[in-house]
Chains A and B, each alone.
Chain A
Amino acid sequence: MYKYIIKRVLLAIPTLFGAALLVFFLLRAIPGDVCEIRLAGTGLYADPAEIELCRDKLGLNDPMIVQFWDFVSGYFTWDLGDSMWTGKPITFEIGLRFKLSLQIAIMATLVAIAIAIPLGIISAVKQDTWMDYAVRAFSIAGIAIPSFWLGIIIILGLLIVTQHWFGAPWMPPIDYVSPFEDPLRNMSQLIWPAVATGYRYSAVATRMTRSALLEVLREDYVRTARSKGLMERVIINRHALKNALLPVVTIIAIEFAFLIGGLVVTEQVFNLNGLGKLFVESVGAQDFNLTQQLVMLVVLIFVITNLVVDILYAWLDPRIRYS
Chain B
Amino acid sequence: MPRLLEVENLKTQFETGAGIVKAVDGISYYVDEGETVAIVGESGCGKSVGAMSILRLIPDPPGKIVDGRIIFEGRNVLELPDSEIRKIRGGQISMVFQEPMTSLNPVLTIGLQLTETMMLHLGLSQDEADKRAVELLGMVGIGEPERRLKQYPHQFSGGMRQRVMIALALSCKPKLIIADEPTTALDVTIQAQILELMRNLTKDMGVALIIITHNLGVVARYAERVIVMYAGKIVEMGTAKQVYHDPHHPYTIGLLNSVPRMDLHRGRRLVPIEGQPPDLTRLDEGCSYRPRCRWAIDKCAASFPPLEAIDGSQIAACFRKDELEKDLKSAS
A, B: real partners = yes
Binding site for B on A (CB under 8 A): 128, 218-221, 223-231, 234, 238-239, 242-243, 316-319, 322
For the complex, give the distance between the alpha carbons of A243 and B117 in Å: 20
Which residues of B are found within 8 Å of A226, using beta-carbon distances?
57, 89
- CB-based contact A221/B106 at 8 Å: yes
25 A-B pairs within 8 Å (CB atoms) are namely A218-B59, A219-B102, A220-B102, A221-B103, A224-B95, A227-B90, A227-B94, A227-B95, A227-B97, A228-B94, A228-B116, A229-B86, A229-B89, A229-B121, A230-B116, A230-B120, A238-B108, A239-B108, A242-B108, A243-B105, A243-B106, A318-B106, A318-B107, A319-B106, A322-B152
- CB-based contact B120/A221 at 8 Å: no
Which residues of B are found within 8 Å of A238, using beta-carbon distances?
108, 116
Question: How many whole Å from A201's CB to the nearest CB in chain B?
Answer: 26
**A228: contacting residue among B61, B89, B107, CB under 8 A:** B89
**B107: contacting residue among A223, A230, A243, CB under 8 A:** A243
For the complex, give the distance between the alpha carbons of A218 and B57 in Å: 12
Name the residue on B nearest A227 (C-beta): B95
When A223-B57, A229-B120, A243-B105 are in contact, do A319 and B86 touch as well, CB less than 8 Å? no
Q: State the total of A-B contacts with C-beta under 8 angstroms.
A: 77
- CB-based contact B86/A316 at 8 Å: no
Name the residue on A nearest B87 (C-beta): A229
Interface residue? B134 (CB, 8 A): no
Which residues of A are found within 8 Å of B97, using beta-carbon distances?
220, 223-224, 227
- CB-based contact B57/A227 at 8 Å: yes
Which residues of B are found within 8 Å of A219, using beta-carbon distances?
102
Interface residue? B104 (CB, 8 A): yes
- CB-based contact B107/A316 at 8 Å: yes
Interface mask (B180-197 → A, CB under 8 Å = 1, otherwise 0): 000000000000000000
For the complex, give the distance between the alpha carbons of A235 and B247 in Å: 44
For the complex, give the distance between the alpha carbons of A128 and B116 in Å: 31
For the complex, give the distance between the alpha carbons of A224 and B154 in Å: 16
- CB-based contact A224/B104 at 8 Å: yes
**B105: contacting residue among A225, A229, A316, A322, CB under 8 A:** A225
Interface residue? B155 (CB, 8 A): yes
Name the residue on B nearest A246 (C-beta): B107
Interface residue? B88 (CB, 8 A): yes
Question: How many whole Å from B196's CB to the nearest CB in chain A?
Answer: 23
Which residues of A are found within 8 Å of B87, using beta-carbon distances?
229
- CB-based contact B91/A229 at 8 Å: yes
- CB-based contact A224/B86 at 8 Å: no
For the complex, give the distance between the alpha carbons of A19 and B272 in Å: 65
Which residues of B are found within 8 Å of A223, using beta-carbon distances?
57, 97, 103
Which residues of B are found within 8 Å of A319, using beta-carbon distances?
106, 152, 154
- CB-based contact A220/B103 at 8 Å: yes
Interface residue? B135 (CB, 8 A): no
**A221: contacting residue among B59, B61, B89, B105, CB under 8 A:** B105
Which residues of B are found within 8 Å of A231, using beta-carbon distances?
86
For the complex, give the distance between the alpha carbons of A225 and B116 in Å: 10
Which residues of B are found within 8 Å of A318, using beta-carbon distances?
106-107, 152, 154
For the complex, give the distance between the alpha carbons of A220 and B90 in Å: 16
Interface residue? B55 (CB, 8 A): yes
Interface residue? B227 (CB, 8 A): no
Interface residue? B170 (CB, 8 A): no
Question: How many whole Å from B4's CB to the nearest CB in chain A?
Answer: 18
- CB-based contact B99/A220 at 8 Å: yes
Interface residue? B168 (CB, 8 A): yes
Name the residue on B nearest A217 (C-beta): B59
Which residues of A are found within 8 Å of B117, using beta-carbon distances?
228-230
Apart from the given pairs A228-B168, A242-B108, A243-B105, 17 other A-B contacts in the complex at a CB distance below 8 Å: A221-B104, A223-B97, A224-B95, A224-B168, A225-B105, A228-B90, A228-B120, A229-B88, A229-B91, A229-B121, A230-B116, A243-B106, A316-B107, A319-B106, A319-B152, A319-B154, A322-B152
Question: How many whole Å from A223's CB to the nearest CB in chain B?
Answer: 6
Which residues of B are found within 8 Å of A234, using beta-carbon distances?
116
For the complex, give the distance between the alpha carbons of A226 and B104 in Å: 12
For the complex, give the distance between the alpha carbons of A289 and B95 in Å: 67
Name the residue on A nearest B112 (C-beta): A238
Name the residue on A nearest B92 (C-beta): A229
Which residues of A are found within 8 Å of B152, using beta-carbon distances?
318-319, 322
- CB-based contact A317/B106 at 8 Å: yes
For the complex, give the distance between the alpha carbons of A183 and B61 in Å: 50
Interface mask (B112-131 → A, CB under 8 Å = 1, otherwise 0): 00001100110000000000
Name the residue on B nearest A231 (C-beta): B86
